Amino acid sequence: MSDMFCFQCQQTAGNQGCIKTGVCGKQPSTANLQDELVAELIRLAQTALDNGKMSHETDDLLMDGLFTTLTNVNFSDSAIKAFTERVVKMREALGGGNIPVISLWEGDTDIVSLRSTLLFGLKGMAAYAHHSRNLGFRDDEVSGWFYKGLTEINKKHTVQEWLELIMEFGRINFKCMQMLDTANTAAYGTPVPTKVNTDIKKGPFIVVSGHDLRDLAQLLAQTEGKGINIY
């Protein structure tokens, strides 16, 4: 029996899945806690949707919870446990019980692949929605699809039904990307080709990866005039 299962990135072991330790360094305990978090997010989404109790608070829990499970975002077991507890408390506050959740990684290969495509897509859209929200932008249709998508993941569908769901999601994801582009350009202007110095300078520095422009802008402001280089 494997210690974990994760195949959400292109570096996954043997192009099949990491089952002992993630190629990214993720430990089995973390992978399993992330799976538990996803299950609780599904329960919360279904509870909120069924009871008509969707709100910005539940929106944010779904977005941030999915974002948390993306590769290299958060490998802190204690942080994931704490977030999962928040999701459970919210679900219970909305009157939801311990809804049965489908085994995400088991079943017909095509069905598992299609289900996973939708789940991984939702995780990516959660990152875009999170960054947009940080800049003051939300979209009800985008937020609403997190509830629908997570709820549909917990249902049985034919291959054709999965394909239709994924195509529908793709249109919503494109809308979310448009929202993030609007948020970024409204805050920082339209990007233009610019010459930059790529030499490494002497002195202290901070390396930044990812595309959270608000965090980067804050970091640049905080280090201005301090002799700290940002790469």
Number of other residues whose CB lies within 10 A of the CB of residue 198: 6
Which pLDDT score is estimated for 94? Answer: 96
How far is the C-alpha of 31 from the C-alpha of 29, rounded, in Å?
6
Can you give the residue ranges of every domain in the chain?
A: 13-188, 193-231
| 51's tokens | 């009871």
Looking at 20-24, 61-65, 132-136, 165-169, which range is the least confident one? 20-24
Which pLDDT score is estimated for 1? Answer: 62
Strand, helix or coil at 212? Answer: coil
How far is the C-alpha of 213 from the C-alpha of 108, rounded, in Å?
40
**Residue whose tokens read 């291959």:** 159
Number of other residues whose CB lies within 10 A of the CB of residue 130: 17
Class of domain 13-188: mainly alpha
Give the pLDDT band (50/70/90) at residue 21.
Answer: confident
Give the pLDDT band (50/70/90) at residue 87.
Answer: very high
Number of other residues whose CB lies within 10 A of the CB of residue 208: 13
pLDDT at residue 103 above 80? yes
| Contact status, residue 67 vs residue 73, Cβ threshold 8 Å | yes
Alpha helix locations (H) across the chain?
A: 28-51, 56-68, 77-93, 109-134, 140-153, 159-188, 213-223
Over residues 110-115, the mean pLDDT reads 95
